Amino acid sequence: MADTEKETALDATYDEKKVGSSPQGSELDDATRRRMDEIPDPDAGLSEEEKAAIDKKLVRKLDFKLIPWLCLLYLISFLDRTNIGNARIAGLEEDLNMTPGQYYASLSIFFVSYSLAEPLTNVLLKRLRPSVFIPAIMILWGICMTTMGLVHNFAGLAASRFFLGLTEAGLFPGTNYYLSCWFKRSEFGIRAAIFFSAAAVAGSFGGLLAAAIAQMDDVGGKPGWAWIFILEGIATIFVGIASYWMVFDFPDLATFLSDDDRARVLRRLRADKQSSAEHEEFRMAYFWASVKDWKTWTFAVIYMGADGALYAFSLFLPTIIRQLGYTSTRANLLSVPPYVGGAILTIAVGWYADRTGRRGLCNIVVPLLGMAGFVMLLASQTPGVKYAGTFLGALGIYPCIANTISWASNNVEGVYKRGVTLGIVIGWGNLNGVVSSNIYLARESPRFYTGHGVVLGYLSVFLFGGSVVNHLLLRRENRARVEGRRDHWVQGKSESEIELLGDRRPDFLYTV
């Protein structure tokens, strides 16, 4: 058989065996059927059309119950970690007598505590339950946020930022892991995109909100930038308290589901070859399985490229726009449209990747927009061209955050292994916020050669280049599994032992 014919045949086999695809209209393997039979089918005896209608109604119910509130939480989280950029142009540095180096240090210290805590947070989320863990960390980071408005010097600001990072660390990796335990792989991307688009909304909303709050200058003897921190911190505390009733536990314990709906959720996850919603005792073996998996580190490199660029963009966009000659208030307002564009494309990419399974292709094509944008920022001094570059920057960065998380989640199976992997990937990505916080040097204003050049490097080498390499490696591994070269991994093992292999099962094909 010619090489091209062999490629076509293997691609057809991928489509037939693809792990993220719907089981309807395709044959499930015997092991999956046996696992599904362990849970009584509440819809036994119904036609396929009736089952499909019930399933559609169930997914709508899950979306309505889970997604809107989680989006609100992430909007608040991203707002709280990046509003220091808005506070800066409202007089933060001058009032606290800070040097530019101290300002950059206050940005960096957040990412140190934030990144180091992230790999452990998903284990805590699983053991403490989402309805307890998420409200608790929100109340704590709301307190830290409020204290940022009460500081009088750099030391106070740095301490507040350190504890803000520590307490906020569990939300983003935890929520992505949490959603992956509710939805099929082919459904997760659009929901992760909608969830993450809250970050883009936070960027736009944050600029508007900061411009309004900054007008409270001298109210109660506090400067406008202090009120940005105080009011947003208090709002976070109230939302955190409400989250005790608004955040639900995993599918096997969620109180808003009837017994029948709970069975339906677990059965549809098992049909998707997932066990991530079930009980599993934590063992260090799961941690080491993640650490030793090459996918953990390729996805960490990819996410590093996206996240390093994201934080540089979100923390310094108001400063970049102000250097184009606009006042602080107008600079905050002009930062809104790029974020809106980023949010729209994030959702569009999530929808497309879910429908086609081409998450790798999306991660290869979309960064080209961001790379073009930062080339424009580097090469031109025309305000209109530079502002257009910020649009392309947002379009090339924001969709890749959600798509990379979805891509990683789709390709890791096991309750704790997936949680640890997402924690490592996201934690390593966020650690690059330390770099992002120190590359827009005041002495280089308004050209910012170092800042724009480093972001361009992150996008081209780590995000684009890493995605190409990962895509090729996943395709090679799928080929080996389709050709039967991994079947020896399950020889002599019982069905329960094969199940524990997770994504190392030979019948588990990766999303490329």
Average pLDDT, the chain: 86
Q: Which domain holds residue 291?
A: 61-261+269-276+287-483
- CA distances 343 to 189, 308, 338, 433, Å, are 14, 18, 9, 21
Helices (H), 169-223: 171-180, 185-213
In a domain, residue 395? The reply is: yes
Q: Closest by alpha carbon to 149, among 75, 77, 235, 208? A: 235
Rounded mean pLDDT, 257-264: 92
Which residues, at least 6 apart from 390, have a Cβ–Cβ distance to it below 8 Å?
313, 317, 320, 321, 338, 373, 377
Task: Using pLDDT thresholds of 50, 70 and 90, give the confidence band for residue 34.
Answer: low
When pLDDT is cut at 50, 70 and 90, the band that residue 281 belongs to is low
d(CA 451, CA 172): 25
Residue in the block written with tokens 């096991």: 414
How many structural domains is the chain composed of?
A: 1
17 in a structural domain: no
Over range 353-368, report the average pLDDT: 96
Residue 295 lies in a domain: yes
**What digits encode the pLDDT tens for the residues 319-348?**
777 777 776 667 667 778 888 899 899 999
pLDDT at 224 over 80: yes
- Do the domain assignments include residue 156? yes
375 vs 253, which has greater pLDDT? 375
What sign for the dihedral angle of Cα 216, 222, 225, 228?
negative
Query: Contact at 8 Å (CB) between 189 and 402?
Result: yes
- Give the CATH number for residue 197: 1.20.1250.20
Residue 55: helix, strand or coil by DSSP?
Answer: helix
Tell me if 74 is assigned to some domain: yes
At residue 181, does pLDDT exceed 50?
A: yes
Residue type, 452: H
Q: Are 482 and 14 in contact (CB under 8 A)?
A: yes
Cα-based angle 130, 133, 137 (whole degrees, multiple of 5) = 135
More confident residue, 22 or 56: 56
Taking residues 122-147, report their average pLDDT: 92
Buried b / exposed e over 100-133, threshold 16 CB at 10 Å, is eebbbbbbbbbbbbbbebbbbbbbbbbeeebbbb
For residue 86, give both structure tokens: 């808005």
Residue 54 lies in a domain: no
3-state helix, strand, coil split of the chain in percent (to 5) is 75, 0, 25
| Residue 3 is assigned to a structural domain of this protein | no
Place of tokens 């883009």: 200
Query: Do 436 and 84 meet the contact criterion of CB atoms below 8 Å apart?
Result: no
- The alpha carbon dihedral of 100, 101, 105, 108 has a sign of positive
Q: What is the pTM of this model?
A: 0.81
Burial of 136 (0-12, 13-18, 19+ CB in 10 A): middle
Query: Over pLDDT 90: what percentage of the chain?
Result: 50
**Maximum Cα–Cα distance across the chain:** 80
Position 118 pLDDT exceeds 80: yes
Tens-digit pLDDT profile for residues 186-199: 899 999 999 888 76
- In the block, tokens 């058989």 appear at 1
Tell me how far apart the alpha carbons of residues 464 and 210 are, in angstroms, rounded to a whole number: 34
Residue showing tokens 């086609």:
356
Q: Indicate whether 175 belongs to any domain.
A: yes
